[in-house]
Every structure is written in C-alpha cells, then in structure tokens.
Structure 1
C-alpha cells in the first residue's frame, strides 16, 4: 500500500470525526507531496529522519520543530492504523510500525502577561472592534478571555463547539464546564475545566453566533493577522509584545495558579500527562517569590 492510499483511507474512515480538519488536510497534503508514492512497508527510521528534514524546509517558509512533529504524528497515527488492517488473504497490511525520530521541542517560555498588559490588551481589541466592524473582533475578544480563563491551548479552544459546554450542579450551585474532547488535546485525553462567570455570561451570544459550528470559527491565518495587528497596537502604546504568543495566555494563567494552588490542581487544569511536567515547566520561582519566606524566617 502506498502512503497516499493509507492517508486517504484514514481521512475517509478513521479521522472523519476530527474537528481540526484544516490542519489535518495540510499535514496530509505535505506528506503526499513528499512521500505519497512510497510503499508504507518500505519506510524506516533513516527515511523518516530524512522526511523530517524535508518537512522542515517544505513550503514558503521553514517549519518549526513542533510543526514538523505534528506532521510526522499524522503519519505515525496512520501507520498504527495500518498495523491493524488486513489484506484480502488475511495477512497484515503492515507488520510493524517503524521507529520515528524524536524531537527536542522547547515550549517553555518565561514571558507572562501582567495585569496591566491584560487590561491594555482588551482596550486595544475594543479599539479594533470600533475601527474594523467588518472583522469579528467581538468573538476574538471572547477567545482571548477564554484562553486566559481556562489555560487551554489555542488549538483546543478552536475545537470547542456548543455541545462541549456542560451545566452541572456543584454543592447546590449551577456551574458550567467546558469539555475538551479526547484526541483534541495534546495528551489525547479528555479534560474538563470549569468556566468563570465572565465566560458563562458570554455563552448565549457565542452559542447563537456558532449555530452548528464551533464557538470560535477562526482560521489559522486569520488569527495570525489579528494577533499581528494587536501586537502592533500594543507596541504603539509602549508595550513590547514581540515575544507574546497565543500560548503565552496559557503560560500566564498556569504561572499565576502555581503561586496560589497545589501543584496537583494546577497539573489537572493544565492537562499535563504528569505532575513532573507541571513542576518542570511552571515550578520555577523568582527572587520576588522568596521575599515573604525570608521575612518570615528573619522574624
């Protein structure tokens, strides 16, 4: 079986329920362009290592290691499915999946958005909403608030549909939760996060606009253009947002949570595979964090 045939089969029969179809289609397109006509049983570590390098330079601009990894993950998932498939004579389509190259991806960042910057950020978005009524800055504002409130990743937020919002009674009080479905998260495990009153107040409008679609129907290129406009506006106000990305909202919320709550709770909110990951990424302390402790010891 050719790689192209396997990816087509998976797209039609195995991955139909995935929300992030635009990203998936891009991954498949790039894989087909580079190895679509190769036999799946001829793939091996050395060939995949070469493919990783080709994927890094394929396209109009170089891809980051995380982007290359996502494309290889698509191929890896397809090959896993191939090992479960059989031919007409009952023999396996693929006996064993080859070993894939590993990536050292540094997602750790120190930049945290301050409360002052958050206030300025929403002022900038409000100004854009007035200046550009044709662009959906209202839902963009809601998206940024949602990211800060839930500490979710951008991709996770874009896959939230109205049906993923659930109302429960907790200690006699009605609370709303968002369900990040299995395979839409980085760990491939579902995660449930309670929503703040601010986000709950936005739900009626978001649901009405969403209809039968996602709450935040933004394409990647649209988000890139809107974020660039925001960063330019923040710079005009004297704020350096050159190192601030969408993922910085997650880092900001989890860093603040680490200062107030047990690491086990923060890890649950983050959706990390282990507490050790949370400790490694958010357990760092600054000198300012030690002031109260030192004063207490000296007293």
Structure 2
C-alpha cells in the first residue's frame, strides 16, 4: 500500500494513502509526534482504529465575548470602507476573505500577535501560493489591523512578517523545461496509475497553451467549448474571470487532444474536477521529482508561470499587444505592456538596421 506522511504548518502529521476503492485518501493523525503518528497511521489505514475526531474550526468556535474576531471586523469593513462604492476590487476582497477565514478568521482581533501572522504566512506558503499572492493576502490582514487601531479595538498593530517577492513575471518556461515537466508527470503516472496524473498533465497543457489563470480551467465545463469561425474556443463566462467580464480563449490542437479523456473521466459537471490545493500539491511533487532526478531545478516555477510563458510566447510570435491583452483578460494594454513587453539589445539593433535601410 502506498502510504506517505507529511507535517502541516501546525505540526500535526497527516497521512496520504490509497484506499480500497483505488482513490487517494487523506487523514489527520491528530498528533505532532512522528513516531506516534506513524503507528497511528498504520492502524487507521488497516482499519484497526477510527481516525481522530476533527476539531471544530476557528469559525465554528468564534468567541462571542472579548471583542470582535477578524471575521467580524472584515464583515464590518465590507459595509463601510471596503464597500463597493469605496473599493473596486470586491472579487479580490471576497476571495481573500474566503481563503483567510478558516486560517485566522476566528481569532479575536485583540489576541492577534506577531507569531499568529508568521504562522499565517507559513500556512499560505504551505498551500502553494506564490510569494506575491502571500504578500497580497497578508497586506489585506495588515490593512484590517490598521483599521482596528483607528476603531480603537487594539492599541497598536502587530508586526507583519516580511515576504520576499522576486520578479517572477520575468520567469518563463523554456521548451526544454516544458519537455522535462511532461516527462516527470508521465513518470509519476506510471508509478501511480490510480491518481489524477493524466488529468494533471492535461491541466498543465491548458495552462501553457491557453495562458489561463488556474481557476479558469478548474471551472471549465464541456459546453464552454464552442466553435468560432471553425476554430475551437473556450468561452469563459463573466463569473469565471477575474475581471468579471466574459472572454473567449482560443484552444490549441494539443489542448483539444485532451478533451475526450477529460470528458470520459468527469466526476461532476467540470472538465477538471479537482481543487486548486490538489493542483498545487501535485505541482510541488513534480518540482521535487525533477530536482531529485538531477536533470534540472524548476523550484522558481509555479503554476502561474505557465500563464506568463504563454503570453510571452504570443508576443514573441508577433501577436499585436492589443490582442494579447484581450487574450489575457487584462483591463487595458498598459497592464500587458508592463508585464510582458520586453525590449532587449537584439530588438534595438534590428530596429536600428531597419531604420538605416529605409
């Protein structure tokens, strides 16, 4: 039986194993002691004892006395300084609150300390979020704690942990790295045929060829694939897009080659019935496999890097910046230019020589 153990940021050991139905299962041992966790894991997997009862979440045990929790504070701020009339990024706010609530939302504002914020940073990193994403979520917590000082809920704001954000927008995947990634996924699929590696392979292909944000293909349904002028397109509805505006994304032959398998293995109404956490967990596994193989190191590549890779390739291939911006779903071309339009010495020399020849 394939059993693996890992430790959560809280220190609790969890176990992944193949169930009798062939599906991958996960349980918590409820202990921080590795030796005890190993013993419990084997007994739980063999059915000798029941898994420990889950502890109620922070939001379920919210204190009714002693002041507001962070969730209470966020609810209040959504009605005034974070209201739609004063803050445009409502979708981002709601997404951040949804992610942060189970991690720290039930904590009393007055009890939030430096270590709680360090633990929150570690928990977000453990979920696979890129440094820039972790920073944005911590910034939101920081803004709400600053508001708590203004509202006289607390006297001073705790120190926010530092998040180092490299300029990962410059990072794209080379063709050689792309081949290495798919080879590593194929190797995993051979070793673990009962897991979702073939579906994950298809997801990576969609991200590289389509320039999607991860959340977009994970919501995709078969009837979103339509034909426009005889070519396949994924018609993303407004609710699936970060901008809240519908947009079509052309689908390559390589993407379309994955569709029959995806349709045949659907377990709900989506082509990719998996969670973002599962996708990030599988990606971390592939990065580790490549590093341990000695064939390369792509630890600085995350799932969003594939979007940068696709859009950069479109620009390098000669697509007008206006159309790349439409493809990406950016609000305007300025965003696209700042993130993806690069000028190098070769480009300048080519332009100079063209000018001389005119």
Q: Shorter-chain TM-score: which interval?
A: 0.5 to 0.7
| Offset of residue 217 of structure 1 | 2.3
Higher helix proportion, which one?
A: 1
| Offset of residue 272 of structure 1 | 0.4
Provide the secondary structure at the position in 1 that maps to 2:122.
coil
Match of 1:135 among 170, 195, 208: 195
Rg comparison, structure with higher value: 2
Say if 1:30 and 1:55, in contact at 8 Å, map to a contact too: no
- Counterpart of 1:221 in structure 2 is 277
1:265 equivalenced with 2:354 (yes/no) = no
Q: In the superposition, relative to structure 1, how do residues 160 and 261 fare at CA in structure 2: closer, same or farther (>3 Å)?
A: same
Say if 2:321 and 2:337, in contact at 8 Å, map to a contact too: yes
Match of 2:133 among 56, 66, 76: 66
Farther-moved stretch of structure 1 (233-242 vs 60-69): 60-69
Farther-moved stretch of structure 1 (56-65 vs 265-274): 56-65
Aligned residues: 245
Q: In the superposition, relative to structure 1, how do residues 264 and 4 fare at CA in structure 2: closer, same or farther (>3 Å)?
A: same
| Offset of residue 289 of structure 1 | 3.6
- Counterpart of 1:283 in structure 2 is 341
- Counterpart of 1:247 in structure 2 is 304
Say if 2:321 and 2:336, in contact at 8 Å, map to a contact too: yes
- Counterpart of 2:173 in structure 1 is 113
Please tell me the root mean square deviation across aligned C-alpha atoms, in Å.
3.8
Return the TM-score normalized by structure 1.
0.67
Say if 2:212 and 2:328, in contact at 8 Å, map to a contact too: yes
Per-residue deviation, residues 110-164 of structure 1 (Å, max 9, x unmatched): 111111211222111111111121221101110000001110111222121223x
Say if 2:121 and 2:138, in contact at 8 Å, map to a contact too: no
| Alignment partners' CA distance in 1, 2:220 and 2:100 | 21
| Alignment partners' CA distance in 1, 2:329 and 2:290 | 30
| Alignment partners' CA distance in 2, 1:71 and 1:209 | 38
| Offset of residue 106 of structure 1 | 7.8
- Counterpart of 1:256 in structure 2 is 313
Match of 2:227 among 145, 161, 168: 168
Match of 1:203 among 244, 259, 269: 259
| Alignment partners' CA distance in 2, 1:291 and 1:230 | 40
Say if 2:169 and 2:308, in contact at 8 Å, map to a contact too: yes
Provide the secondary structure at the position in 2 that maps to 1:120.
helix
Q: In the superposition, relative to structure 1, how do residues 275 and 22 fare at CA in structure 2: closer, same or farther (>3 Å)?
A: closer
- Counterpart of 1:94 in structure 2 is none
| Alignment partners' CA distance in 1, 2:320 and 2:195 | 41
Which has the bigger relative contact order, CA under 8 A and spacing at least 6?
1
| Offset of residue 239 of structure 1 | 2.0
Return the TM-score normalized by structure 2.
0.57
Per-residue deviation, residues 15-71 of structure 1 (Å, max 9, x unmatched): xxx9xx998754443464146xx9xxxxxxxx9xx99x9985453716456347469
| Offset of residue 212 of structure 1 | 2.6
| Alignment partners' CA distance in 2, 1:275 and 1:129 | 40
- Counterpart of 2:102 in structure 1 is 29
Provide the secondary structure at the position in 2 that maps to 1:210.
coil
Say if 2:210 and 2:251, in contact at 8 Å, map to a contact too: yes
Q: In the superposition, relative to structure 1, how do residues 270 and 54 fare at CA in structure 2: closer, same or farther (>3 Å)?
A: farther
